[in-house]
Amino acid sequence: MFQFVFSRAYCTNNIRRKWKEFEKTLGCAEEGHPSLGEDPDWASYSLGVFICLSCSGIHRNIPQVSKVKSVRLDAWDEAQVEFMASHGNDAARARFESKVPSFYYRPTPSDCQLLREQWIRAKYERQEFIYPEKQEPYSAGYREGFLWKRGRDNGQFLSRKFVLTEREGALKYFNRNDAKEPKAVMKIEHLNATFQPAKIGHPHGLQVTYLKDNSTRNIFIYHEDGKEIVDWFNALRAARFHYLQVAFPGASDADLVPKLSRNYLKEGYMEKTGPKQTEGFRKRWFTMDDRRLMYFKDPLDAFARGEVFIGSKESGYTVLHGFPPSTQGHHWPHGITIVTPDRKFLFACETESDQREWVAAFQKAVDRPMLPQEYAVEAHFKHKP
């Protein structure tokens, strides 16, 4: 139960009774669910919503829209309590989220600051989900503009023109403004985008991956304006959504939305050895993307040094703690063995907690039955030892 601080003139049983009515609205208004059963400690008394500590900081940055108070520490007068009583999280969602497109990404508490900030600004400051005409930047089916892209060889970020066209089903970029042919064409069918600010070293950093000759290619981009890069992200999700609607005409929106973009199951350093398991172990950056385990010399490499397909237990895949007997050459002590129908892959983790997290990620893939299209991926998978 909340412990509120009321001004002396209004600290009455009537006000306390009204606060008790808010129990049904508990949880952060921006996260879409109760905050792990805890009461939110903050509220916007101009919008009539309860919010968590993290979101309260974002709300404070738009004072022309949202005015924030502590639920527990600040004084509340009767007019403010009456306003909260007549609004609340559910009423705010009904108004400010009434026209959220199915493809638009709704951030979770674990998402980066940029996604959460732009979600809040889109809702209340720009009111994009009340007036659909304001959604044109990411819903028109075509978008072009300049983004900073990391060079594959020199690592420098240079301005490049990008064009997204749903009609052609592709995202393209050009090395020169006057270039007639794109440097790369990324098919929407195989494209993914995920925010990676820490890895890229910029708070607006976005990693885009696509398949080239059945191998994964990475590009790393950002824009100085947070709204711009989030609009690009949602435009990519919209293009994916419309492609999947055509590819799977019987599927519901709820079935398609989880396929629009995905965060990686796990990333980090491990050591690996070669297929003969006689070479020394080498430190590599690993990324677990669905059933693809990719390894890189550097986290920002454009191409993986190798990829491992991890199928299901029904298809002969197993994850084991530790190494086979007599394994040598590893510097890190915590081993993992992945058994596939063709060979064993050996990895070493620096800490026991890293080992547990990687095993959990691998086991999640192994325990999940393979889809028909995943058998085709397995059959054509290219592994670089």
**pLDDT tens digits, 211-251:** 888 788 999 999 999 999 999 999 999 999 999 999 999 99
Same domain, residue pair 76 and 98 = yes
CATH of the domain at 43: 1.10.220.150
Q: Residue 203: which domain range?
A: 140-256
Contacts 24+ apart (CB under 8 A), 246-250: 247/189
Same domain, residue pair 20 and 56 = yes
Domain contains 315: yes
Domain contains 162: yes
How confident is the model at residue 29, as a pLDDT? 85
Pairwise CA distance, residues 371 & 29, whole Å: 36
CA dihedral (267, 205, 123, 144) positive or negative: negative
Residue 275: which pLDDT band, with cuts at 50, 70 and 90? Answer: confident
Domain contains 297: yes
Answer whether residue 138 shows pLDDT above 50. Answer: yes
Residue 158 contacts residue 148 (beta carbons within 8 Å): yes
Last residue in a domain, options 73, 105, 132: 132
Residue 20: which pLDDT band, with cuts at 50, 70 and 90? Answer: low
Same domain, residue pair 118 and 10 = yes
Task: Identify the CA nearest to 243 among candidates 189, 175, 308.
Answer: 189
Last residue in a domain, options 111, 132, 153: 132
Annotate 155-177 with b (16+ C-beta within 10 A) or e (fewer). Answer: eebeebbbbbebeebbbbbbeee
- Tell me how long the chain is: 385
Domain contains 261: no
- Please report, for the chain, how many H helices and E strands are present, in that order: 11, 19
Residue 50 contacts residue 27 (beta carbons within 8 Å): yes
Indicate the residue type of 211: L
Same domain, residue pair 169 and 276 = no
Same domain, residue pair 167 and 227 = yes
Domain contains 217: yes
Same domain, residue pair 79 and 167 = no
Pairwise CA distance, residues 262 & 87, whole Å: 34
- Mean pLDDT (the chain, rounded): 89
Same domain, residue pair 357 and 331 = yes
Same domain, residue pair 174 and 145 = yes
CATH of the domain at 335: 2.30.29.30
Answer whether residue 23 shows pLDDT above 60. Answer: no
Same domain, residue pair 297 and 196 = no
Last residue in a domain, options 228, 256, 284: 256
Q: Which range among 71-75, 138-142, 162-166, 180-184 shows the weakest confidence by mean pLDDT?
A: 71-75
What domain count does the chain have?
3
